Copies of this chain bind each other. A is one copy, B any other.
Amino acid sequence: MPEFRKDPIVGHWVIISKERSQRGSDWIIKPHYEKINGFCPFCEGNEDKTPPEIYALRSNDSKKDGPGWKIRIVPNKYPALLHTGKVSPEHNGIFHKLNGIGAHEVFVETPDHAAKFTDFPPRHIFDILKAFQYRILHLKQDRRLKYVIIFKNEGFAAGASLEHSHSQLIGTPIVPKAIKEKLEGFRKYFSRHKTCVFCDLIKRERLEKTRVVFESKHFTALAPFASRFPFESWILPINHIANYENMEDDYYFDLAINLKDVLKKIKMGLNDPAYNLILHSCPFTHSKNIDFHWHIEIIPKISSTAGFEWGSGIHINPVPPEAAAEWLREN
């Protein structure tokens, strides 16, 4: 059983999940994708090599866990957290832990092994974004979960262990410390200014324009003022929306266009780098619309995180966000 453990000094959580590694030799870093004899469990026809599907967008005449799908959601075969059981905290002096209950799901974004996110038609990206919404709405009803995050690791350098295009969702019975700090940032700013910090930020960025990468009808893509990574990009709804899952279809379609464009700019401008994409929606524990402004973070993997960054938490970024935005705008 995986477990959550709390750092006794600073209070951040980690997940200790030995289910994800078995023996000494597993600890040696793998220099490439695990594709044993060219076999991929996410390809059409290999549906029996994943756990049974949670949901699939498939043709009417196709069968569950068979071919004929466009998008497929399955539990992660090597889950960081398990979906069954009761959450039970354990305190033992300075050491606090929690059994590893939660959700860990995979969105297989296409049946085609070679197709990449930037190749998908906007309508297909819309379907993926709607699948995210569907799962968040569903998991919100699970009283054990307080928070859900959706992310995409594209490329080996970004931590992907399979090449086939996919995203993941992890739901946790705690609100992570970093997310609590975000919520607290929103709360503090609101109590001082009676408005949302991201709404103010977006207003200002749209006036200044220097850090804007791309705009669609409902969304703006920015290189954030305090970018931790070169070419870090955020996509935010221009109007205040706390929850990703509470939007009209029109918004998801516009987001598909924006996301595809920004990822294409990153691909063209930076020589097709690996990247992480993170979708931040409001935690389930917060229901006031003003608590959060949902957003996407995209982190191209073109720099490495070294001792100074891990030790101090301060990232050294050699590319000013103004230069990054200009470079991406022109690509």
Which residues of A come within 8 Å of B, CB atoms?
5-21, 24, 26-29, 80, 93-95, 147, 149, 151-153, 157-160, 168, 170, 172, 176-179, 181-182, 185-186, 189, 197-198, 200-201, 204, 224-228, 230-231, 270-271, 273, 276-278, 280, 297, 299, 301-308, 310-321, 323, 327
> Would you call B197 and A8 a contact (CB within 8 A)?
yes
Contacts of A315 in B (CB 8 A): 14-15
Contacts of A176 in B (CB 8 A): 312-314
In the complex, which of the residues B149, B185, B228 contacts A311, with contact meaning CB atoms closer than 8 Å? B149
Distance A55 CA – B161 CA, assembled complex (angstroms): 46
Distance A173 CA – B95 CA, assembled complex (angstroms): 34
Distance A94 CA – B185 CA, assembled complex (angstroms): 12
Distance A16 CA – B297 CA, assembled complex (angstroms): 19
Q: Which of A12, A182, A224, A297 has the most CB of B within 10 A?
A: A12
Contacts of A158 in B (CB 8 A): 304, 306-307
> Would you call A302 and B28 a contact (CB within 8 A)?
yes
Are A20 and B316 CB-contacts (below 8 A) given A28-B302, A158-B306, A276-B307? yes
Contacts of A277 in B (CB 8 A): 307
> Would you call A201 and B8 a contact (CB within 8 A)?
yes
Are A319 and B151 CB-contacts (below 8 A) given A13-B314, A273-B29? no
Main SS class of interface, A: mixed
> Would you call B170 and A317 a contact (CB within 8 A)?
no
Distance A81 CA – B297 CA, assembled complex (angstroms): 27
Distance A19 CA – B317 CA, assembled complex (angstroms): 10
Contacts of A179 in B (CB 8 A): 312-313
Q: Which of A5, A17, A270, A327 has the most CB of B within 10 A?
A: A5
> Would you call B9 and A185 a contact (CB within 8 A)?
yes
Pairs across A and B, CB under 8 Å, 15 listed: A5-B226, A9-B197, A10-B178, A14-B226, A15-B316, A26-B318, A27-B302, A29-B303, A80-B316, A93-B200, A172-B314, A178-B312, A179-B313, A280-B311, A299-B307
Distance A307 CA – B229 CA, assembled complex (angstroms): 13
Distance A330 CA – B275 CA, assembled complex (angstroms): 38
Contacts of A200 in B (CB 8 A): 93-94
**A181 nearest CB neighbor, chain B only:** B10
> Would you call A94 and B16 a contact (CB within 8 A)?
no
Contacts of A95 in B (CB 8 A): 225
Question: Chain B nearest CB: distance from A192 CB in Å?
Answer: 11
> Would you call A306 and B20 a contact (CB within 8 A)?
no
Q: A18-B319, A178-B312, A280-B311 are in contact. List 8 more A-B contacts (CB 8 A).
A: A7-B226, A8-B201, A9-B182, A13-B226, A16-B227, A18-B318, A27-B230, A277-B307
Distance A307 CA – B153 CA, assembled complex (angstroms): 6
Question: Chain B nearest CB: distance from A310 CB in Å?
Answer: 6
Distance A6 CA – B225 CA, assembled complex (angstroms): 8
Q: Which of A94, A177, A301, A306 has the most CB of B within 10 A?
A: A306
Distance A270 CA – B271 CA, assembled complex (angstroms): 33
Distance A82 CA – B201 CA, assembled complex (angstroms): 30
> Would you call A94 and B204 a contact (CB within 8 A)?
yes
